[in-house]
Amino acid sequence: MIFVKSLRHNRISFGPFNSFLQMRWKKPVASAQTRLETRTRDLKLDKLMTHIHKVKTILNIHHLMSQRKRGPFVSVQLMSRWKNIVGLNVGMGAFVHKYPHVFEVFMHPLRRNLCCRITRRVKDLIDEEKNVVKDCESELVQRIKKLLMMSKNGTLHVHALRLIRRELGLPTDFRDSILRKYSKDFRLIDLEIVELVDRENLAVAEVEKWREKEYKDKWLSEFETSYAFPINFPTGFKIEGGYRERMKNWQRLPYLKPYEKKEVVRVRTCGGIERFEKRAIGIIHELLSLTVEKMVEVERLAHFRKDFAIEVNVRELLLKHPGIFYISTKGSAQTVLLREAYCKGCLVVPNPIYVVRRKMLDLILLGCRNTRSLQYQEEIKEERNGLVFKTSGEGRRDGDWVLPILDSYDGKVLESPGEINHSEQAFDDCESESSQSDVFFKDDSS
């Protein structure tokens, strides 16, 4: 027994000279995690998700800055407390200096501390997106109605809609501005469940447009296109033997479409499991088609499983069909994208909300590149720093600060001493708050 333990400890390989040892050969497990690790990567979509993660981080910082009511700027020292809140793995100061087109860093004229604020161009893009969302209100109502039509009982949890609010393009107060405003279409039950008042059976899935186009342009038979999905494998995907035949049969398999009347699909019947899974694929495909950027986090799809009667593992189901969906793990989250909607990292058919968000992404991707507008701003700053001095009885001294340097706060000049004292008092409050947070963190650490 001691000899056997010593052999196991030394990890001697199984062979003819130690055949008395019994070794178990485990079959490799094909789970959702192993499929996720061994999937064929799409580098363009992964790169896109990395950029979108930067946009979300910057919007989170803007949200934290906008919650402060003491001024349009925040000290960089106080912003360093937000590092863990926004999920940064670098210092806040380094991150802010990395995007000069988004963040404007300046020296406070009174306290001589670094402060930061959002540039006017980013604020204009945020306001433009809000205006576009208001203009597309009727389209947003149709999106919510389609989601309710796909549900089992014509109801959805408001919390689930809130989780994918940005993906659907809904405003922050969509419960009041949309659900309560359109009382003829929606009914709120206990304020957490929304119900469809009038069910219209005129909704058509987005994939039906592709099927009609394939039927007309490629002269395919109705048997080939009635229940098919667009397939687009990533570069480098290896097709195993027999996979084409299985995929061809799966494309022809009939299933219950998302907006059709609900029927009981018996699992033990011929093709029952495949039909049930294909119906789930159709629902997820339609949900992604209704989003702005054709992507949703996988974890947030789980909140729709009960309402949509999806009783299968969503992530495993998505990984079974790499030609329809792609799961990206970039940005500290698993996000599923609709493959047919993207080409070279951009949407094939853009929408107004996506166009504004793309402008924001392009502005962030400029990084530290000096454009003409940024160079013009730097020249104005240099002129102000060179022309502003403070005079006294001893003569002029360089480096002193006076009133004209304060005109950059909101586009106006602070002319009265009372306004200067007000600005100084606001910064004192900001500084005292940061000192109180220092005590708070010290108490926690102790």
Cβ atoms of 40 and 236 within 8 Å: the answer is: yes
Alpha-carbon distance of 31 to 28, in angstroms, equals 9
440: confidence class by pLDDT, cuts 50, 70, 90 = very low
Looking at the predicted structure, is the pLDDT value of residue 435 above 50?
no
Which whole number is the average pLDDT over 20-24?
A: 57
pLDDT for 270: 54
The position carrying tokens 């079974």 is 320
Q: Within a 10 A sphere around the Cβ of 198, how many other Cβ atoms?
A: 9
Cβ atoms of 347 and 339 within 8 Å: the answer is: no
pLDDT digits (tens, 9 = 90+) for 148-179: 999 988 899 999 999 999 999 999 999 999 99
Q: Share the mean pLDDT of the chain.
A: 80
Alpha-carbon distance of 365 to 43, in angstroms, equals 17
Cβ-count burial 221-255 (b if 16+ within 10 Å, e if not) = eeeebebbbbebebeeeeeeeeeeeeeeebeeeeb
pLDDT for 343: 93
38: confidence class by pLDDT, cuts 50, 70, 90 = confident
Cα of 187 vs its chain's centroid, Å? 29
Sheet strands side by side (includes 295-297): 295-297, 335-338, 325-328
pLDDT digits (tens, 9 = 90+) for 283-297: 999 999 999 999 999
Question: What is the crossing angle of helices 272-290 and 206-217, to 10°?
Answer: 100
Q: Using alpha carbons, list the distances in angstroms from residue 80 to 89, 91, 100, 183, 396.
A: 12, 7, 17, 45, 37
Which whole number is the average pLDDT over 344-368?
A: 93
pLDDT for 204: 86
Which whole number is the average pLDDT over 110-128?
A: 91
Phi, psi at 351, each rounded to 5° = -120, 165
Looking at the predicted structure, is the pLDDT value of residue 406 above 60?
no
Q: Between 264 and 283, where is the model more confident?
A: 283
pLDDT digits (tens, 9 = 90+) for 97-117: 999 999 998 888 887 888 999
pLDDT for 308: 93
Looking at the predicted structure, is the pLDDT value of residue 434 above 60?
no
Phi, psi at 25, each rounded to 5° = -100, 110
Cβ-count burial 132-154 (b if 16+ within 10 Å, e if not) = bbeebeeebbebbbbbbbbbeeb
Q: What is the dihedral of CA 305, 308, 311, 317, to 10 degrees?
A: -80
What radius of gyration do the chain's Cα atoms show? Answer: 29
1-15, 133-147, 198-212: least confident range = 1-15
| Residue (of 5, 43, 37) closest to 21 by Cα position | 5
Which whole number is the average pLDDT over 426-432?
A: 49
Which whole number is the average pLDDT over 318-343?
A: 93
pLDDT digits (tens, 9 = 90+) for 369-399: 876 777 777 777 667 665 544 434 444 444 4
Looking at the predicted structure, is the pLDDT value of residue 214 above 80?
yes
Looking at the predicted structure, is the pLDDT value of residue 424 above 70?
no
pLDDT cut 90: percent of the chain above it: 48
Which whole number is the average pLDDT over 213-237?
A: 87
13-27, 110-124, 266-280: least confident range = 13-27
pLDDT for 2: 52
pLDDT for 51: 95
| Residue (of 312, 232, 326) closest to 275 by Cα position | 312
pTM of the model: 0.78
Which whole number is the average pLDDT over 258-262?
A: 79
pLDDT for 407: 43
